[in-house]
Every structure is written in structure tokens, then in C-alpha cells.
Amino acid sequence: MEERLKELAGLLSAALPAAVTGSEIRHRELSIRVGRAALPEVLRFLRDDPKCRFTILCDICGVDFPDRPLRFEVVYNLLSIRLNQRIRIKVETDENEPVPSATGLYSSAGWWEREAWDLYGIYFSDNPDLRRILTDYGFEGHPLRKDFPLTGYVELRYDERQKRVVYEPVRLQQEFRSFDFLSPWEGMDKVLPGDEKTGEGEGAPPAGGAAGGAG
């Protein structure tokens, strides 16, 4: 398997020397890095070349590295039934630089690109319908960014006076900020609720009981 992956990596490097900037084999899978502008050319080659035939786009994922100048990685996972192989294509970008859309090559790409846009804010140029797909229409921000607060920026509730759903800034109650890290067993009192009514010391048998029973 690894020899076949090395042959595929060599084929791509020879056919697309300016587009493929790096490759590696990990966990018996081939990953390649390509320039953002060269992405359509690489995807078209992988789909149409007789030695590749990666005709199925399994998914498109986003990865966030806030400390990098190009903080986002867009990962394309392709499958070739003919070769019985998978390949992973990685493209780097940021909040401002758009990634060329793959919808012209793979019809399923539209849904995956909408998800990456919704959750990460990665923009895809030439996508015909780049709208939010998982969050609400009026949602602000992108939930899977590592700089996005876990509580969100706004909360919604039904206002009985206005008879409609309203959006308000998140207000955290003080109780929400207090955490008890003890497990229920560590924090539990030795005397269980109700046992104090017996008036007997710790380790004594319950009231009405007997240490030794008689028939």
C-alpha cells in the first residue's frame, strides 16, 4: 500500500510541480499541500486523470490554527473506487483570502463549503449559494473558531409582551461562573439525609434493627 501511495505522490509532483508544495504519508494515507490558486487544477487532475480517478468528494473540513498567519486549513478528502485509495488535499488561507470553490468539479462541494463558511468563516469564491447552513439566519460570528466564546455573543428567548422571539446579549449569572469540581461521592456528608433523626452515632445500626437476629 505504501509503495502505491509513493507512486501516486510522485505522479502528482511530476504532473503538477508548481501546484503541489508538499506531501506526506501518515497512517497509510497520502496528504498533499497545494497552493490556494492551484486548487481547481489539482482537483480536476485527480478527478479526470486515468491513473487517479478520484471521483468522489467525501467531505471538506476546516481546521483553525489561530497562531498562524494563515490560520485556516481547508482539507479535502477524496476517494478513488478504481484505485481503492484515499487522498487528502490541504489548502491554507485566512479570514480575508477566498478559496476557489469546488462546486464546478464536485456537486457535493456546495454543502461542505457552506458548512465551513458557517462554522469557521472561510470564504469560497464562486460558490453559487454560500449561506449559513447550521446556525440561525441572524447568527453573528462563527462557532468553531477558537476565539469564539463558548457561551456565544447573543441568546434568544420568547418575549411574552412582544409575542415574538428576541435576541439579547448574553448575561451570565454568578451561579454559572461557580464550579464545584468535587465528585458527588467526595462532597457527600457521612450522615445521609434522614439519618440524623435516629439520634444514634456513626456506625450504629438503624433504629428498630438488631445486631443479631432471632427467628
Q: At what angle do helices 39-48 and 2-15 cross, to 10 degrees?
A: 130
The pTM assigned to this predicted structure is 0.74
Which single residue is written with the C-alpha cell 478504481?
A: 82
pLDDT value of residue 106: 96
pLDDT value of residue 153: 84
The pLDDT tens digits for 19-32 are: 999 999 988 889 99
Contact 135, 118 (CB under 8 A): yes
Mean residue pLDDT across the chain:
85
pLDDT value of residue 183: 59
Which run of H or of E encompasses 100? strand 99-100
CA dist 194 and 197 (Å) reads: 6
From 137, 68, 136, select the one nearest 97 (Cα to Cα). Answer: 68
pLDDT value of residue 213: 46
From 44, 54, 59, 49, select the one nearest 86 (Cα to Cα). Answer: 54
Three cell numbers, residue 45:
487532475
Backbone angles phi, psi at 166, to 5 degrees: -125, 150
CA dist 100 and 125 (Å) reads: 5
Which run of H or of E encompasses 86? strand 85-93
Three cell numbers, residue 161:
409582551
pLDDT exceeds cutoff 60 at 180: no
Three cell numbers, residue 2:
505504501
CA dist 71 and 177 (Å) reads: 30
Contact 60, 75 (CB under 8 A): yes
The pLDDT tens digits for 124-179 are: 999 999 999 998 877 888 999 998 888 888 888 899 999 998 888 887 765 555 55
CA dist 178 and 109 (Å) reads: 43
